């Protein structure tokens, strides 16, 4: 694919910026209007990207010309809307906007400038890492990125035979966004920017939520600071995982719901709420555990707004809320429905095959099992490096909470390793403090989020005198979300990243609570408060923020598998070796096998692999130089009942990963089979 097509990436960006101008709120009473405009533009752009893929996929037209035409139409429409807005309101005085930001910076305290500067610096460094580092996430090698290559190769979204069911059963919303970049650039060089942009969105939206709950500038900056320095956020912002994208869509829904606490629903609001819900569902279904309580909060608020208008007003409120709820569900169904229909047609269930339905969701819901699951999830999320400071790998100090949980579980008759509440064959506990993108804990951010939630429930007026009712209602929603998550999702070593959406929801409560600790007391309260107590509170707050900053800096500097310094640095490691930092011994093995296939002049290559094997390297090694695929890659195994695998006799070469016995079993008689560690290759006998 021509590299010149890469410049087309600017078309969606220009469309988004035009839309940002066109949909900004007109009223000056709107909280953080520019951030609300960013939400509206992001939802519109995201939904357009998803629906474009669905439409072109249904037409077997997932090609560069088709996707380019689609985005040119989007750009033209966005520019037209921006033009209409400009003609209606007159030229936008950008100087006034610039002066407003300058004034904000001049009036900011040193502490506020330090918070903003730290977050901006981390975002900039993360951007550098995201641009320089090749995608090397484990799950991306297995199923996130291979599914994109299958779509490009076949030009449609039709399911294909595969031994890795997650390539077709896991919601593909984030991969739909990556597909546009793949078609525009012919490669994966910009893939990491999707999660980076989602990370920026998360901290901006969390700050707006803090403002909606009564927080001033400092509370908003503290909230953005906590989000931006959380190790999981820092590491995922340079990744091709999907958790930050999910968290961003959940945050969009949350901020729209908070607007609905004081404003009656309009057609545009219902469309936006439905779009956000649909994007959550099509990206990661666990995010719906946050979307559900948020939508219930919105519905109750809408009923409350009309409840004081007498019987007729109540009737109108019920009718309006019910109609808007139907619209929300219909819009969400339009966004996520096509994928769910394909899954249902293939497996007879919209949630996929039994293997998927039983591996992640909780299979026991008695109070004891839910309590133990919640405690295990909490221990893993709040894990600290104390155990690493002891003499043994699992030190007494660091494992004391885990041991207490295991002992307490047995005391109430619950097996802490019960397969019905524990993912796969994993075993609780694990060390999660190390800055690894898949499992890193967030003890400071998590503890602050829980503390803020408790104070918002118990003493909301002390935290936000401007909006105590909204604060308490939102805290209840966060608490319900956490309860649902622990009741529905099994404990697993990688569970911290699944909690990311809930953490972003909760951190505004932490920002508001910390701001309350810093807040200057009035003369009346100062006369009764103990100065020493206030000093201790301020010192504690500063220490927590400093610890959060240190955690963020260490994550971006030494995080795995993308880091600035040390072994595996993005500045000193080659592109190919960067892809294999999780399994460096495989880098040469994949190349060796691919070289053998190319030397044989094979045009149709069969794959033999297991459910958690790496497939993506084959798509990189066996494609031609301009991003296309010079060889057809087909699976010789399939877990899809209606998609039989290709016959071994129909291929010119076979590449294998993992189990050698599975490979040799499928190799035609007389072929040569060679293995080098993890990777194998089978070729037909040379012609005489």
pLDDT, one tens digit per residue, over 371-392 is: 999 999 999 999 998 766 654 5
pLDDT, one tens digit per residue, over 589-610 is: 999 999 999 999 899 999 999 9
pLDDT, one tens digit per residue, over 662-676 is: 899 999 999 999 999
Q: Quote the distance between the C-alpha of residue 550 and its chain's center.
A: 23
- In this prediction, residue 5 carries a pLDDT of 55
Provide the mean pLDDT of the chain: 91
Element (H, E) at 460: helix 460-463
Under 8 Å CB-to-CB from 281, ≥6 apart: which residues?
A: 171, 287, 288, 291, 332, 335, 336
Q: Which two tokens stand for residue 94?
A: 């950008």
Question: What is the model's pTM?
Answer: 0.94
Q: Is 474 helix (H, G, I), strand (E, B) or coil?
A: helix
Rounded CA separation 495/503 (Å) = 12
- In this prediction, residue 528 carries a pLDDT of 54
| Closest of 503, 450, 488, 494 to residue 254, by C-alpha | 503
Query: What is the average per-residue pLDDT within 314-320?
Result: 86
Under 8 Å CB-to-CB from 444, ≥6 apart: which residues?
A: 544, 547, 548, 551
Rounded CA separation 662/256 (Å) = 51
pLDDT, one tens digit per residue, over 176-211 is: 999 999 999 999 999 999 999 999 999 999 999 999
> What pLDDT band is residue 395 in, cutting at 50, 70 and 90?
very low
Residue 656: pLDDT above 70? Answer: yes
- In this prediction, residue 533 carries a pLDDT of 63
What dihedral angle (degrees, nearest 10) is formed by the CA atoms of 292, 450, 247, 486? -50
- In this prediction, residue 109 carries a pLDDT of 87
By percentage, how much of the chain surpasses pLDDT 90? Answer: 79
What dihedral angle (degrees, nearest 10) is formed by the CA atoms of 446, 421, 402, 382? -10
pLDDT, one tens digit per residue, over 608-638 is: 999 999 999 999 999 765 544 568 999 999 9
Q: Which two tokens stand for residue 200?
A: 């920026």
> What pLDDT band is residue 582 in, cutting at 50, 70 and 90?
very high
pLDDT, one tens digit per residue, over 471-521 is: 999 999 999 999 999 999 999 999 999 999 999 999 999 999 999 998 754
Task: With beta carbons less than 8 A apart as the criterion, state whether 561 and 581 touch.
Answer: yes
Q: Where are the domains of the chain?
A: 578-683
- In this prediction, residue 96 carries a pLDDT of 67
Q: Which two tokens stand for residue 619?
A: 């798509």
DSSP annotation string for 645-675: PPPGGG-SEEEEES-HHHHHHHSPTT-EEEE
> What pLDDT band is residue 132 in, cutting at 50, 70 and 90?
very high
- In this prediction, residue 106 carries a pLDDT of 81
Rounded CA separation 82/398 (Å) = 56
Residue 124: pLDDT above 80? Answer: yes
Rounded CA separation 547/668 (Å) = 60
Rounded CA separation 688/686 (Å) = 6
Rounded CA separation 120/672 (Å) = 56
* Token pair 């299979």 in the structure block, residue: 363
Q: Which two tokens stand for residue 69?
A: 């035409």
Task: With beta carbons less than 8 A apart as the criterion, state whether 311 and 365 touch.
Answer: no
Positive or negative: CA dihedral 285, 287, 293, 294: negative
- In this prediction, residue 386 carries a pLDDT of 78
Task: With beta carbons less than 8 A apart as the criterion, state whether 646 and 635 touch.
Answer: yes
Helices 192-212 & 173-185 angle (0-180, nearest 10): 130
Query: What is the average per-residue pLDDT within 531-552?
Result: 83
């Amino acid at each position: 694919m021509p590299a010149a097509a890469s410049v087309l990436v600017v078309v969606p960006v220009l469309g988004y910026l035009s839309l940002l101008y066109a949909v900004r709120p007109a009223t000056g009473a709107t909280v953080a209007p520019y951030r609300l405009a960013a939400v509206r533009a992001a939802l519109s752009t995201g939904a357009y990207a998803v629906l474009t893929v669905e439409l072109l996929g249904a037409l077997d037209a997932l090609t560069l010309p088709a996707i380019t035409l689609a985005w040119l139409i989007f750009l033209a429409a966005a520019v037209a809307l921006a033009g209409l807005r400009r003609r209606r309101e007159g030229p936008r005085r950008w100087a006034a906007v610039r002066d407003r930001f300058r004034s904000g910076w001049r009036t900011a305290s040193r502490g506020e400038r330090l918070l903003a500067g730290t977050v901006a610096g981390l975002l900039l460094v993360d951007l550098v890492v995201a641009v320089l580092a090749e995608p090397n996430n484990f799950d991306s090698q297995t199923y996130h990125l291979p599914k994109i290559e299958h779509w490009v190769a076949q030009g449609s979204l039709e399911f294909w035979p595969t031994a890795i069911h997650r390539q077709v059963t896991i919601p593909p919303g984030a991969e739909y966004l990556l597909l546009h970049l793949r078609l525009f650039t012919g490669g994966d060089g910009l893939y990491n920017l999707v999660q980076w942009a989602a990370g920026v969105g998360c901290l901006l939206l969390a700050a707006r939520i803090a403002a909606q709950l009564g927080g001033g500038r400092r509370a908003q900056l503290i909230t953005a600071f906590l989000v931006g320095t959380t190790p999981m956020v820092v590491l995922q912002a340079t990744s091709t995982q999907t958790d930050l994208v999910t968290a961003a869509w959940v945050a969009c829904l949350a901020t729209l719901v908070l607007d609905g606490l004081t404003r009656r629903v309009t057609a545009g609001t219902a469309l936006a709420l439905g779009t956000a819900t649909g994007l959550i569902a099509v990206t990661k279904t666990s995010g719906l555990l946050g979307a559900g309580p948020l939508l219930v909060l919105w519905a109750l608020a809408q009923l409350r707004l009309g409840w004081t208008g007498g019987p007729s007003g109540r009737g109108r409120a019920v009718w309006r809320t019910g109609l808007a709820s139907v619209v929300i569900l219909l819009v969400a169904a339009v966004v996520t429905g096509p994928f769910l229909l394909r899954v249902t047609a293939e497996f007879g269930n919209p949630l996929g095959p039994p293997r998927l339905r039983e591996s992640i969701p909780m299979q026991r819901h008695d109070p004891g099992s839910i309590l133990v699951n919640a405690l295990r999830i909490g221990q893993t999320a709040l894990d600290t490096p104390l155990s690493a400071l002891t003499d043994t790998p699992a030190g007494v100090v660091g494992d004391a909470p885990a041991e207490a949980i295991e002992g307490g579980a047995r005391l109430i008759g619950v097996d802490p390793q019960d397969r019905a509440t524990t993912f796969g064959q994993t075993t609780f506990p694990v060390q999660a403090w190390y800055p690894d993108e898949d499992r890193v804990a967030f003890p400071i951010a998590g503890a602050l989020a829980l503390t803020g939630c408790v104070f918002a429930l118990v003493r909301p007026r002390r935290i936000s005198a401007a909006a105590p009712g909204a604060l308490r209602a939102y805290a209840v929603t966060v608490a319900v979300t956490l309860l649902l998550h622990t009741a529905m999702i099994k404990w697993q070593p990688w569970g911290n990243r699944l909690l990311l959406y809930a953490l972003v929801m909760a951190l505004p409560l932490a920002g508001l609570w910390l701001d309350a600790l810093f807040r200057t007391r009035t003369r009346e309260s100062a006369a009764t408060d103990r100065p020493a107590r206030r000093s201790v509170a301020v010192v504690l707050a500063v220490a927590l923020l400093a610890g959060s900053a240190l955690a963020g800096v260490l994550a971006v500097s030494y995080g795995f598998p993308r880091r600035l310094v040390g072994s595996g640095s993005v500045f000193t490691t080659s592109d190919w070796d960067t892809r294999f930092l999780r399994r460096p011994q495989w880098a040469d093995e994949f190349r060796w096998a691919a070289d053998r296939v190319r030397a044989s002049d094979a045009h149709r290559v069969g794959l033999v692999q297991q459910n958690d094997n790496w497939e993506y390297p084959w798509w990189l090694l066996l494609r031609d130089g301009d991003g296309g695929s010079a060889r057809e890659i087909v699976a010789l195994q399939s877990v899809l009942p209606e998609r039989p695998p290709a016959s071994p006799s129909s291929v010119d070469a076979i590449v294998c990963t993992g189990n050698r016995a599975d490979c040799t079993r499928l190799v035609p008689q007389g072929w040569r089979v060679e293995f080098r560690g993890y990777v194998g290759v089978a070729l037909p006998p040379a012609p005489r």
